[in-house]
Structure 1
Amino acid sequence: MRFVFSPLALARFIMIHRPDIVHLNTSMDRKAYWRDLAYLFVAKLLNVKVVNQVHGGPMPQEFFAGHAVLIWLLRRALYASDAVSVLSSKEYEAYTAFCPGALIVRIPNAIDPAELLGDIAAPDAHRPLRLIYIGRIIREKGLFEVLEAMAQLQRSGRKLHLDIAGGGPAEKELRSSVLQLGLDDVVHFHGPVFGAAKTRLWRETDVLVFPTYHPEGLPYALLEAMAAGTPAITCPVAAIPDVMQDGVHGFFVPPRDADTIAGAIAALDNDRAMLDRMARASRARVLEKFTVERLARDFSELYGAVLGRRA
């Protein structure tokens, strides 16, 4: 019912308020694609400019692979947009190759870091390293491999603590894995967290473990962690390599590789001075490139370019 009636609601809104631009915040997901295709059609039918902001998912060449008509339709939809905004360098290359001549821009996600900017405390080598994961609990985020890595390290006598905040379809299985691996005394589930509770977790932790092989866009959890001075152990997927540099802001690990995750955790546990350097470099990186002020400037410039094309 939403698919049927929300385009009509959009049409009514446009006719009443006469906006200059409709900004579609979409992803390369089948449900989102067909919904936003209807919105695009409505906006163009009513002669309104459209900015199509894509948040992750498969590259356009892969989205309808093997279906020539659907590929043609996707390309027509992207050309019909007055601008397409993507998150990563890889997406920018893919979209410009898929739609030569279209206005494609790269505008990464950003955050307001104000609540995360407390002092970065020097890591205490005499207490267990504190790990954290914040996000949706699905297998593709690499959490099961994190547990395997922790079990390896615990068997070797290393002391660690992991906080998991969030929920999702794999939570029940993940909790069972914690029990099976004997990690129930060092892994703490918090459920979904927001506001001050989430800020407190970021400030109390040392390392974000996020070895995702999910088709990400640019994870807000990574930006928040870095702003809080929390280096990351993650996979170089989607826009993540545009944000952090391996060995400077944390470590890159291959997907589904518990052994390498264990090695990265051990390296940071052994060298707390390196952990401190990465924490400070991470915060500096976010403050330089990934604040909402930069995001506002980027979209202001893009909207101006789109409206300038009208003249």
Structure 2
Amino acid sequence: MKQVRESVPRVAVVLPHSAGGIFRLFEHFRRQGPNEGRSDFRFVVTKEDRPTSLLWFFPRLLAFCLNVLLRQFDVCHLNVSADGSTLRKTLFAVPCVLTGVPYTIHLHSGRYPAFYRNLPAPLRNIVRAFFRRAARVIVLGQVWRDFVVEVIGVDPARVVILPNAVHGPDAVPNRDAPERVPQILFLGRLGPGKGIPELVEALARDDMRSLSWRAVLAGDGQVAETQAAVAAAGLDDRVEVPGWVGPEAVETLLAASDILVLPSHVENLPLSMLEGMGYGLCPVVTPVGAVPDVIRDGENGFLVPVDDAAALAGALARVVSDGDLRDRLAAQARADFEVSYDIRHYREKLEAVYLDVLAASGQRSAR
């Protein structure tokens, strides 16, 4: 009979150290400490944004293996994206399988179907086994549940839909200043994958030029190219491209903006969209990944086709020119955020997954 453990579950969270959303999400929990919830998070960083990162990977993997063998963890939470992330996390799953420590997979990449399809057959078999052995596979929306069940072959009973969550202000910033010019905000990696070329084209169309607005396109990636495209379109006086901005600057931009635009070609569930909803912005986004699970066209935002500058300009023009429509969509987006995407409710949902895994494996925990 398996031993029943009466303590706070110790969860090894395996993730990269980066500016990405998943690191920001778990960094919030790291700062909280174990007393804020029903789990004690132990963080294992597999990759950093520096040239020497690879040199530290195998020492960290060996240290992780030792900790698993010594039963320092009760559950392992493997954050998985496409490309090298999957291959690294399969190595971290091996000691878990050998010792019987359950692991969860948290799938984040919007590019995962293409990555999986393009793998050589032997590697695809390894990835399939990696997913099927997981105690739970956490996905961000229905489209990703369908993918892991129908394509990878994960048992549907082991798949959990848990959308991302972000910080939001206690109250929506006041935007009732007289003669206010609506501000459009983009947050993300600048480049074709996020729809920046068609966004610049949309802002330059006649139906947008005839209206009063300003825009900020903030993020890393193709900053110089985006600045050049804005200049070539004659939008220098309306569109600012500051490049990457830190967390405090992001909050300032969110508080000062009215519309969150994200015309991505590929997404899983973008955090910038949820952040915009939390700040009471009106979303204008493309229906990619799990976005349609969140945005209902005409109710809490607008959905526009991918790579369609005319449709994007039309949607932006509607919410720029009609303040009542913009406010109605934004208010519903904020209401949905408070119910489903506020990080203050996320930890409890995530920890329920761990407790379920422990119960299924013959363990349980109590504070």
| Alignment TM-score, normalising by the size of structure 2 | 0.78
Q: What residue is the counterpart of 1:10 in the other structure?
A: 64
Correspondences of 1:73-152 after superposition (within 5 Å): 73-97=126-150, 98-101=152-155, 103-113=158-168, 115=169, 117-122=171-176, 126-152=179-205
- CA change 1:276–1:57 in 2 (3 A) is closer
Match of 2:232 in 1: 180
Task: Flag structure 2 segments of 5+ consecutive residues without an equivalent.
Answer: 1-54, 363-367
Query: Residue 320 of structure 2 aligns with which residue?
Result: 269
User: How big is each residue's C-alpha offset from its partner over 1:166-221, in whole Å with a ceiling of 9 and x where there is no partner?
Assistant: 111x212111111111111111123322333221111111111110002x221110
> Could you list the runs of 5+ residues in structure 1 that have no partner in the other structure?
none
User: Percent identity between the aligned chains?
Assistant: 28
Q: Match for residue 301 of structure 1?
A: 352
Residues 1:72 and 2:125 are matched in the alignment = yes
- Taking the aligned partners of 1:100 and 1:165, their CA distance within structure 2 comes to 38
Task: Note if contact 1:146-1:258 (Cα within 8 Å) is conserved in structure 2.
Answer: yes
How far residue 59 of structure 1 moved from its aligned partner, in angstroms, is 4.7
Q: 1:217 to 1:155 in 2, by over 3 A?
A: closer
Query: Match for 1:86: what amino acid?
Result: V
Structure 1 residue 55: deviation in Å? 0.6
SS in 1 for 2:281: coil
69 and 112 in structure 1: CA distance in 2 versus 1, 3 angstrom threshold = same
Instruction: Return the TM-score normalized by structure 1.
Output: 0.91
Q: 2: distance between equivalents of 1:134 and 1:212?
A: 11
> Per-residue displacement from partner, 1:222-242 (whole Å, max 9, x unpaired)?
111001010111100111111
Displacement after TM superposition at 1:71 (Å) = 2.4
What is residue 19 of structure 2 aligned with on the other side? none
Find the partner of 1:19 among 73, 97, 105: 73
Q: CA deviation at 1:73?
A: 1.6
When the two structures are aligned, how many residues end up with a matched partner?
Answer: 306
Query: How far apart in 1 are the matches of 2:111 and 2:248?
Result: 34
Is contact 2:167-2:278 (8 Å) kept?
Answer: no
Contact 2:200-2:230 at 8 Å conserved across structures? yes
Q: Distance in 2 between matches of 1:149 and 1:55?
A: 29
How far residue 60 of structure 1 moved from its aligned partner, in angstroms, is 4.9
Candidates 300, 320, 331, aligned match of 1:249: 300
Q: Distance in 1 between matches of 2:176 and 2:348?
A: 34
Offset of residue 136 of structure 1: 1.5
Partners of 1:264 and 1:167 in 2: CA distance: 25
- 2:205 aligned counterpart, secondary structure: helix
Q: Determine helix, strand or coil for the equivalent of 2:227.
A: helix
2:277 alignment counterpart: 226
Corresponding residue to 2:94 among 38, 41, 49: 41
Provide the rounded CA distance (Å) in 1 between the counterparts of 2:331 and 2:268: 24
2:212 corresponds in structure 1 to 159
AA aligned to 1:278 is: L
- The 3 A distance-change label for structure 1 pair 60 and 267 is closer
Secondary structure, aligned partner of 2:302: strand
Q: Cα RMSD (Å) of the superposition?
A: 2.1
Q: What CA distance in whole angstroms lies between the structure 2 residues aligned with 1:134 and 1:14?
A: 38
Q: Is the 8 A contact 1:61 1:94 kept in 2?
A: no
Q: Which residue of 1 aligns with 2:84?
A: 31
Mapped contact 2:131–2:154 kept (Cα < 8 A): no
C-alpha distance in structure 1 between counterparts of 2:177 and 2:260, whole Å: 14
Residue 78 of structure 2 aligns to a residue whose secondary structure is strand
Q: Give CA deviations for 1:87-143 in whole Å, capped at 9, x if unaligned.
A: 111011121223242611111101122x3633443486x443211111121221011
Q: 1:204 aligns with which of 253, 256, 278?
A: 256
Bigger CA drift: 217-226 or 62-71? 62-71
Matched residue SS, 2:296: coil
Change (3 A) 1:76 1:135: same
Note the C-alpha offset of 1:23.
0.6
- Kindly state the Cα deviation for residue 264 of structure 1 after the two structures are TM-superposed: 0.7
Distance (whole Å) between structure 2 residues aligned to residue 298 and residue 155 of structure 1: 42
In structure 1, what is the equivalent of residue 243 of structure 2?
A: 191
Q: Say if 1:143 and 1:116 are closer, same or farther in 2 by CA, change over 3 A.
A: farther
